[in-house]
Amino acid sequence: MKAALILAAALAAGPAAAQTLSLSGQAGQRVSLTAAQFAALPHAHIQVMQHGQPHAYDGVLLSDLLAKVGAPHGEGIKGRELATVVRVSAHDGYQVVVSLAETDAVTRAAKMIVADREAGAPLKPEEGPFRLVIEDDLRPARSARQAERIEVINLSTMSKTAPANSH
């Protein structure tokens, strides 16, 4: 009976992958962060309006997470790096894409964070443990809940027919 209760609690909590954030870079770099490791990273605070309601989130800057897998930043985002995107995949299969340049403070003042807290408390199970939050989005369509995976992908390496130097 006790074993059945433990199993039921584990299933209700969701899969182990949902408690881990996986990062991958362009050259195959991989980092996996548990919720505890993520919580220990430096956090930023942002306030956003979602569906007409104010929300206050705390989390790690997306650019700081991307640096862990070797993504270029600052003045390093130029030329072919401008064809680099960041794909955030959620537990339910939902995916959003932002350009690498959008994630960097040198290019854009508004912050993008991967949140693990809202209003000072851990995210609700249906929201977290990780959620992409974009400070100046007018609606939260790119605010992927239950984020599990973040990948850096250079689109210029995906197509051999892409022009090398066009604007």
Q: Classify strands 95-99 and 53-61 as parallel, antiparallel or unpaired.
A: unpaired
Beta bridge partners of 115: 59, 131
Q: What is the pLDDT of residues 102-159, one digit of tens each?
A: 999 988 899 999 999 999 999 999 999 999 999 999 889 999 999 999 999 999 876 6
Q: Residue type at 62? A: L
pLDDT digits (tens, 9 = 90+) for 40-61: 999 999 999 998 999 999 999 9
